A and B are shown apart, each in its own frame.
Chain A
Amino acid sequence: MRLFPLMFALLTVIAAPAHAVLRVDINSGIQQPMPIAVPAFATPAVAPTAAGSTDVLGRQMAEVIANDLASSGLFRPLDPAAYTTRVGFPDVAAPQFPSWRTIAAQALVTGSVQANADGTITLGCYLYDVFSEERLDAQNFTATVPTWRRLAHRCADLVYSRLTGETGYFDSRIVYVSETGPKTSRIKRLAIMDQDGANHRFLTNGQSLVLTPRFAPNQQTIAYMSFAQNRPRVYVYNIGSGSQQLVGDFPNMSFAPRFAPDGNSLVLSMAQAGNTDIYRLDIGSRRLTRLTTSPGIDTAASYSPDGTKIVFESDRGGGQQIYVMNADGSGQQRISFGDGRYATPVWSPRGDLIAFTKMGGGQFKIGVMRPDGGGERLLTNSWQDEGPTWSPNGRVIMFFRTGQSSRSRAGNADLWSVDLTGLNERRIQTPLDGSDPAWSPLLR
């Protein structure tokens, strides 16, 4: 422990916050991502762990962090081949700044990995401004060995947060629908993975068609729709136990579930004799409250982060448009008025924007607008972009993109993400095709 001067370092940082000389402006649209160096993390003493020795873990953690930062589009991790110095353990808290300046790194992340006596590991994460030689932040993170990647994500979140002024989002997960096979008999399984695609695993076996998984605020429960027993209804999946439970034995199709921010209830849609309305289901009492009564299709409900309002889509006015109502169903008001059809509205975790799918001109696009309907901006455009979900900090939107199929070949379905600026569109790697992504809250 003597080799971890971090506690003191952290205290001094908090006591005297550095003025923000080094800053990534995330709102203007990044033309020049910040050059950043993330050299392999050092270790005070090479020690074996169940996930490999601490020096190997140090190298892997640095790679995870560099990958996280690069994926945001805001940072450009420098090629380790260009490094002119190696970071030994003493350098972690006292880097050789001149050698980082020679390769034009603006920011430097160093770290140290230590195996603890209780079987956990600790990552010391340091962030420096290379030119002012200032330590911008430093923090220790401890976790069990199997969850070592989370330590790296938390370090990446610290860097992101310190340099952008926004909360990070790397320590989070994605649940989505993994797809394979011809479209006429598509096999769909729930799958979960870390935000960066690691730790991928399937949650359901593909026997039943499953759709639209959504995280509960506690990140441990997922609401989704399944065609089990040929009765399409809403279920909840417990990630820890693997149990699947029907939320209510309703006589009709129930679908489009989404949790309330307090996790105690969820909104879902139910079809009755051809008419679909939105209901709130209290999870404890299983009591169902009808929120909409229009003869049109009312569906795809999503709560505002403060739980007072619900955004949803309805075709009550002729075509699909976005509406907002109070959480009790009162005050229903249309907010989308542009050309084309608007669907799948999702409220940002920051509360300031609503993401949606817009259909028009033969294309499907992802866009955002303010909760009052103003400030509409389209972020993507393709044959079929659909189903946005927000990163926990409300900066990035993930969605799925389906290509055109021919009779003999199914079009690709893949997960994609795009920055709120509309820049940095990138495909998320999945083992098979993917759709219906849902981003978890931060795992803290």
Chain B
Amino acid sequence: MRSLPLQALVIAGLVATTACSKKKEDLPPPPPPAATTTTTTTDSGAGANTGAVTSSAVPGSAADFQQQAGDRVYFAYDSYELDEASRGTLSKQASWLQRYGNVRITVEGHADERGTREYNLALGDRRANAVKNYLAAQGVGAGRISTISYGKERPEVQGSDEESFAQNRRGVTVISGGAAS
């Protein structure tokens, strides 16, 4: 009888910590710690910085991409503008993609639930293309980038609150081929 509550407590604690860290990771601005965005003054600086990160992932793999650059950017309500944080993330994505020239990507555009279904499909397409255009302008061949809009159909989180909506308004760069495994 005495050990049971303790066990429950430990499990609850574990759940709490994983939930916390996951939550933090998902919060806008993008996943990497705030420090990296402030040091992204130049591309080479960013490269040096990310190069210094001790990565357990296989270089050129999807996990490596996630660690070195981060796979997503966030948008304001009904907007497809890339803010400074998003541009920072996308610049890192672009330099990673230039390093691994065989990798192909699909950019997913997503919307929060507070819009009508068809409009949100179009809005997701706008967001995916905003990401694509930025990466292409940074030198990633447009032929390597495809886009797909999921509108409001595939939220990252389920809640109907502002924090959830902010996480759901996103562009996600998914590696679709050519990555190391």
Contacts and interface: CB of A to CB of B under 8 A. Distances in A.
B130 to A, nearest CB: 7
A212 B93 CA distance: 35
A167 B15 CA distance: 60
A9 interface: no
B113 interface: yes
Contact of B159 (A211, A212, A387, A405): A405
Contact of A271 (B122, B154, B156, B159): B122
Residue of A188, A211, A271 ringed by the most chain B CB atoms within 10 A: A271
A297 B122 contact: yes
Nearest to B159: A407
B116 A387 contact: yes
Interface residues of B, number: 30
Contact of A300 (B119, B156, B158, B159): B119
A276 interface: yes
Interface centre among B78, B118, B121, B126 (most CB of A within 10 A): B118
A296 B130 CA distance: 14
Interface string B132-159: 0100000000000000111001111111
Contacts of A406: 158-160
B117 A212 contact: yes
Contacts, number: 104
B123 interface: yes
Interface stretch (A25-33, A64-72, A178-186, A332-340): A178-186
B125 interface: yes
A386 to B, nearest CB: 6
B91 interface: no
Contact of A410 (B80, B153, B158): B158
A343 B148 contact: no
B125 A276 contact: yes
B162 to A, nearest CB: 11
B86 interface: no
B158 A183 contact: yes
A183 B155 contact: yes
B153 A271 contact: no
A391 interface: no
B95 interface: no
Given A253-B148, A271-B149, A297-B126, A184 B119 contact: no
Interface of A: 182-186, 188, 209, 211-212, 227, 230-232, 253, 255-256, 269, 271, 273-276, 297, 299-300, 313, 315, 319-320, 343-344, 357, 359, 383-384, 386-387, 402, 404-411, 435-436
Interface of B: 78, 80, 113-119, 121-123, 125-126, 128-130, 133, 148-150, 153-160, 164
Given A343-B116, A384-B114, 9 more contacts: A255-B121, A274-B130, A276-B125, A300-B118, A300-B119, A383-B160, A404-B160, A405-B158, A411-B160
